[in-house]
Amino acid sequence: MSGRCCGRSPPSYAPARARMPRSCWSTARSSIATARSRTAPTIARSCARPRRSAARSPSAPAFRPAWPRPGPCMPHRRRAAIPRMSNKPPQPPRKKDTVMKASGRVLAIVAAVLGLAGATSASRAADVLRIGEGPFITGGGFLVADEKGYFKKLGITIEKRMFIDGQQAVPALIAGELDLTFMTANASLFNSIARGAPLVVVLDRGNNKAGRGYTVINVSKPMAEAGIKTAADLGKLKGKKIGVSGTGSINQYVFSLALQKVGLDPRKDVTWVLNVPQPDLMKMLGQNQVDATDLAYQFGFFAEKNGWGPMIATGDAIDPDGPIGVYATRQALLREKRDVLVRFAMAYLQGAKEFNAAAAAPDQHPEIVDILARTTALQKPETVKAIAPNWSYTNEDGMPNVASIMKMQDYWADYYDFVEKKVPAERLFDLSIAKEAVARLEKEKPFAK
């Protein structure tokens, strides 16, 4: 094929050759030959076409021969400047650059730390505990902590389910519907654990500390007129009807001990009216359907105030330091939510501390009194003050009264046969949550003013 085609000539590379080393020109020449051989058929076909008088369509592609493009060995006519080599040794980075890079690294570290702190805070904010609670003043430590935002401050969201009796919350706890619940240390708790229920007691929720007795014995007006004025007169109840809220409950336990102290056998010398809610027992007392009952102090107070029957003895005089309530959880949560449970205990114990102080001097703690009036069945601050200091007492170290609870289990098992199989203390309690909460409160002081 001719070097000329259609009046066009291949570009000349003579100037480029003069400027290139021999090795580079050899490479470029072979590239040019290859490109010409590939484009020759295209040029031949363009020559074979008849010329058209009309102008080429704007949409038709322009003819571009595939000549080699300029490269390192085929410089363009307008060459880029080639940097000159220097014999100077490499210079260290300038101080300004070093400082800027170091500052960048510091900022990156700070941002990472802040991000981690934010992530931790967010994760704590997402920690939810489903709590079983009741409208009783003995739970004042929890109610105060919840109302004053102590759980939120430690990154816990509380979801409450209310129960009129802690025994009713046990099935929900076992089924996984609750994470933690209040309950009384009763015969059903011991039996549930003996049968394999994965429950464990972790915190105190009130006891009959001397001077703070929460349970109280009321007698009907006819019994009071018959001469029952104190616990020492309870021997006159032989053959009478005693009403309590549950079989194997703390109320039956305290009343049974009181009867034994005056020489009666509570298994056969009285008739038990069982499993009646305490508000109904007050009315039954006034209607002489029962001759005596053991109630929470607030209900005993209402019964006396309404003329249904007087209070004659409190639980702390019959069983000092006897348990009223505890908090229990599932064993698996001690591993899965341990830190959350510890933080719950920290907030709860702070609330319990303020609750105990208010019980001793309610006039000095009007905020606590108002909280208890709003969140319990008492409803009025005047009533809350009237029953002080009989709000119960919560151990400020969170420890359940282990000895008293184990004594109760022995009583139900050995005397009444209500407990089928005894549970050892190490299976019944986990005291590590309370201990860790107290240690962290002392170290971290999250509620210091």
CATH number, domain of 332, equals 3.40.190.10
Read off the tokens for 205. 């929720």
Residue that terminates a domain, selected from 293, 320, 347: 320
Least-confidence region, from 87-91, 175-179, 226-230: 87-91
Q: Give the pLDDT confidence score for residue 109 in this predicted structure.
A: 54
Query: In this predicted model, what pLDDT tens digit does every residue of 182-220 receive, in sequence order?
Result: 998 889 899 999 999 999 999 999 999 999 999 999 999
Q: Could you tell me if 243 and 350 lie in one domain?
A: no
Q: Could you tell me if 331 and 202 lie in one domain?
A: yes
Residue that terminates a domain, selected from 299, 320, 341: 320
Using the predicted structure, report yes or no on whether residue 44 has a pLDDT greater than 90.
no
Angle between helices 140-147 and 338-360 (to 10 degrees): 110
Q: Give the pLDDT confidence score for residue 108 in this predicted structure.
A: 52
Q: What is the mean pLDDT of residues 115-131?
A: 61
Q: What is the mean pLDDT of residues 32-40?
A: 50
Q: Is residue 248 part of a domain?
A: yes
Q: Could you tell me if 164 and 242 lie in one domain?
A: no
Expressed as residue numbers, the domain containing 434 is: 123-208+323-444
Query: In this predicted model, what pLDDT tens digit does every residue of 357-415 receive, in sequence order?
Result: 999 999 999 999 999 999 998 889 999 999 999 999 999 999 999 999 999 999 999 99
How far is 343 from 350, CA to CA, in rounded Å?
A: 11
Q: Give the pLDDT confidence score for residue 165 in this predicted structure.
A: 75
Query: In this predicted model, what pLDDT tens digit does every residue of 297-322 receive, in sequence order?
Result: 999 999 999 999 999 999 999 999 99
Instruction: Specify the amino acid at residue 190.
Output: F
Tokens 């009007």 belong to: 366
Q: Could you tell me if 193 and 182 lie in one domain?
A: yes
The pLDDT confidence band at residue 33, using thresholds 50, 70 and 90, is low
Q: Could you tell me if 411 and 351 lie in one domain?
A: yes
Q: Is residue 238 part of a domain?
A: yes
Q: Could you tell me if 154 and 203 lie in one domain?
A: yes
Number of domains making up the chain? 2
Using the predicted structure, report yes or no on whether residue 11 has a pLDDT greater than 60.
no
Q: What is the mean pLDDT of residues 48-75?
A: 46
Q: Could you tell me if 142 and 204 lie in one domain?
A: yes
Q: Is residue 414 part of a domain?
A: yes
Read off the tokens for 100. 């800027």
State the DSSP code for 199. Answer: E
Query: In this predicted model, what pLDDT tens digit does every residue of 129-177 receive, in sequence order?
Result: 999 998 889 999 999 999 999 999 999 999 999 887 777 888 899 899 9
Residue 234 or residue 119, greater confidence: 234
Residue 78 or residue 156, greater confidence: 156
The mean predicted confidence, pLDDT, of the chain is: 82
Q: Could you tell me if 338 and 304 lie in one domain?
A: no
Q: Is residue 40 part of a domain?
A: no
Least-confidence region, from 73-82, 86-95, 133-142: 73-82
Q: Is residue 222 part of a domain?
A: yes
**pLDDT above 90 as % of the chain:** 65
Contact 147, 369 (CB under 8 A): no
Q: Could you tell me if 329 and 432 lie in one domain?
A: yes
pTM: 0.71
Q: How far is CA 274 from CA 211, 242, 247, 255, 281, in A?
A: 28, 8, 6, 13, 10
Instruction: Specify the amino acid at residue 238.
Output: K
Q: Could you tell me if 422 and 340 lie in one domain?
A: yes
Q: Give the pLDDT confidence score for residue 170 in this predicted structure.
A: 84
Q: Give the pLDDT confidence score for residue 21 in this predicted structure.
A: 52
Q: Could you tell me if 264 and 192 lie in one domain?
A: no
State the DSSP code for 439. Answer: H
Q: Which of 325, 307, 140, 133 shows the shortest CA–CA distance to 215?
A: 325
The pLDDT confidence band at residue 30, using thresholds 50, 70 and 90, is low
Using the predicted structure, report yes or no on whether residue 117 has a pLDDT greater than 80.
no
Residue that terminates a domain, selected from 320, 351, 370: 320
Q: Is residue 86 part of a domain?
A: no
The pLDDT confidence band at residue 238, using thresholds 50, 70 and 90, is very high
Read off the tokens for 73. 């060995």
How far is 199 from 181, CA to CA, in rounded Å?
A: 10
How far is 77 from 415, CA to CA, in rounded Å?
A: 113
Q: Could you tell me if 259 and 372 lie in one domain?
A: no
Q: Is residue 361 part of a domain?
A: yes
Q: What is the mean pLDDT of residues 277-294?
A: 96
Q: How far is CA 156 from CA 128, 133, 145, 320, 436, in A?
A: 6, 16, 11, 34, 17
Query: In this predicted model, what pLDDT tens digit does every residue of 414-446 receive, in sequence order?
Result: 999 999 999 999 999 999 999 999 999 999 999
Contact 254, 321 (CB under 8 A): no
Using the predicted structure, report yes or no on whether residue 57 has a pLDDT greater than 50.
no
Least-confidence region, from 78-92, 172-186, 246-260: 78-92
Q: Is residue 374 part of a domain?
A: yes
